Amino acid sequence: MGGKRSAQLNLMLPDDDPADAPAEPPTPPRSRAKEPRRPSFGARVRTVLVWTGAGLGLAAAIVGFYRLDQFLASDARFVLPGTPEARPNPDFRIEGIARTPEAEVMRVFARDFGRSVYLIPLSERRRRLMTIDWVKDASVLRHWPNRVSVRIVERTPVAFVVLPASPANGLPVSQTALIDIDGVLLRTPPRARFSLPALTGIAASQNAEARRARVRRAVDLLEEAKLYASRISEIDVNDPDNMVILMTAHGRAVRLMLGDRRFLPRLSNFLNHYPDIAHRLPNARTFDLRLDDHITAEDGGTDGR
């Protein structure tokens, strides 16, 4: 009997176990994209009706506004009666004027008489009123159906000023005007009387800020030295660091240089010593008071404090 034969099978296996490999994520199932749903016929009708209604409402509002505008502008019930020359006019009242020329106020509204008060541009009329020198503030009120009232706040003058001649600024000769605390030059009203000091060192060519600063320095001086303010007739504000005044002392006009501070103590000291100064220096009229411990006369004489 022959011997048994055997066979050997060689298999090539991978190095790694397939069971150890990471599993790939499953591919999500593909879904069929949904087609957008078309609005129903009823929804489309409702949309059209809403937009149509909105358009009609807007058109109606525009037409209504136009008709109201035409009604207010043209109806005779809203017409401001009278003329600019007819005064007094109960339908056109002006309040608060004492020195502001009434004729200038009336000229601002000359176009408004005989037409609807609805057409009056209130802000523009107020702007024009503010260009009148005596007007510090103004308001224009419309009262339905056909009345208008104007309220004026006038400026308060604090001093006279002598404006030097300046052809470049339309002043061929020197002129006298009034000035308020804001440095606004005011025309002197006819027949008006004011008990105010005069300021020198103010010119029409100066800007409003420069005039305001100089006037306020003079007002500060008068406020501090109000005990003697009624005796001060003139204040020179040319040099803010050296205020110079003209005043009466024991019946004589004297010119005093006060510097820029301590106005009241310097004036009091001078007036207390003036009888002795006048006896010793009868011809002296100008005195320098800027040193607190000396009074110096212009002619060189001194009187120690």
Let me know whether 117 and 168 are in one domain.
Answer: no
Residue 267 tokens, joined: 């004036």
Is the CB of residue 234 less than 8 Å from the CB of residue 217? no
In this predicted structure, what is the pLDDT of residue 216?
Answer: 96
Q: Is residue 42 part of a domain?
A: no
Q: Is residue 19 part of a domain?
A: no
Let me know whether 166 and 289 are in one domain.
Answer: yes
Judged by DSSP in three states, 156 sits in coil
217: nearest Cα among 197, 256, 180, 243: 243
**Distance in Å from the first CA to the final CA of the chain:** 165
Residue spans of alpha helices (H) in the chain: 41-74, 102-108, 122-129, 208-224, 263-280
CA distance 77 to 55: 34
Q: Is residue 40 part of a domain?
A: no
pTM of the model: 0.75
In this predicted structure, what is the pLDDT of residue 161?
Answer: 95
Let me know whether 178 and 138 are in one domain.
Answer: no
117: CATH:
3.10.20.310
Q: Is residue 53 part of a domain?
A: no
Q: Is residue 177 part of a domain?
A: yes
Let me know whether 264 and 189 are in one domain.
Answer: yes
Which pLDDT tens digit goes with each residue over 197-245? 999 999 988 998 999 999 999 999 999 999 999 999 999 999 999 999 9
Number of structural domains found in the chain: 2
Q: Is residue 277 part of a domain?
A: yes
Sites in the chain below the pLDDT cut of 70? 1-36, 41, 68, 167-173, 299-305
Let me know whether 111 and 216 are in one domain.
Answer: no
Which pLDDT tens digit goes with each residue over 30-41? 655 556 677 776
The last residue of one of the domains, among 98, 132, 154, is 154
Domain range enclosing 88? 78-154
In this predicted structure, what is the pLDDT of residue 252?
Answer: 93
The last residue of one of the domains, among 108, 127, 154, is 154
Let me know whether 141 and 186 are in one domain.
Answer: no
